[in-house]
Chains A and B, each alone.
Chain A
Amino acid sequence: MKTVTLDVNGKVFCLDVPDGELLIETLRDRLGFLGTKYSCLEGDCGVCTVLADGKNVLSCLMLTVEAEGRKITTIEGLGQKDLHPIQQAFIDEGAVQCGFCTPGMILASKSLLDAHPSPTQDEVVHALDGNLCRCTGYVRIVNAVLSAARKMKKTP
Chain B
Amino acid sequence: MPILKDFRYHAPVGVDEALALLHKSKKPLLLGGGTFVLNTLKKTAAYPTDVIGLRKIASLHGIRDAAKEVTIGSMTTLAEVASSPVVGEHFASLAGAAACVATTPLRHMATIGGNVASRFFWVDLPSVLMALGAKVAWAGDKAKKTLSVEDFLSLTGPEARGIVTEVLLPKSGLTGVYFRHTQTMEVDLPLVAMAFAARRQAGGVKDVRCIVNTTLSRPVRLTGVASYFETKKVTEWKADEAADVLRRDLEQGKLDDYRLHCLCADLESLIDKFKKA
Contact = CB atoms under 8 A, between A and B. Distances in A.
Chain A directly contacts chain B within the complex, with at least one CB pair under 8 Å: yes
Nearest to B41: A20
Given A65-B11, A65-B53, A46 B4 contact: no
A16 interface: no
B184 to A, nearest CB: 13
A63 interface: yes
Nearest to A18: B6
Contacts of B187: 129-130
B104 A25 contact: no
Given A21-B4, A58-B109, A130-B104, 12 more contacts: A21-B2, A22-B3, A22-B4, A29-B1, A43-B35, A43-B106, A57-B108, A60-B3, A63-B34, A111-B104, A129-B104, A129-B186
B167 interface: no
Contact of B2 (A25, A46, A60): A25
A108 interface: yes
A140 interface: no
B7 A61 contact: no
A108 B105 contact: yes
B42 A19 contact: no
Interface in A1-52: 2, 18-22, 24-25, 29, 41-43, 46, 49, 52
Contacts of B31: 63, 66
Contacts, number: 92
Interface string B1-22: 1111111110100000000000
A66 B39 contact: no
Interface residues of B, number: 29
Instruction: Choose among A19, A62, A126, A131 the residue with the greatest number of B CB atoms under 10 Å from its CB.
Output: A19
A49 B9 CA distance: 23
A62 B1 CA distance: 15
Main secondary structure of the interface of A (DSSP, over half): mixed
A63 B38 contact: yes
A111 B105 CA distance: 10
A96 interface: no
Contacts of A130: 102-106, 187
A55 interface: yes
A61 B106 CA distance: 9
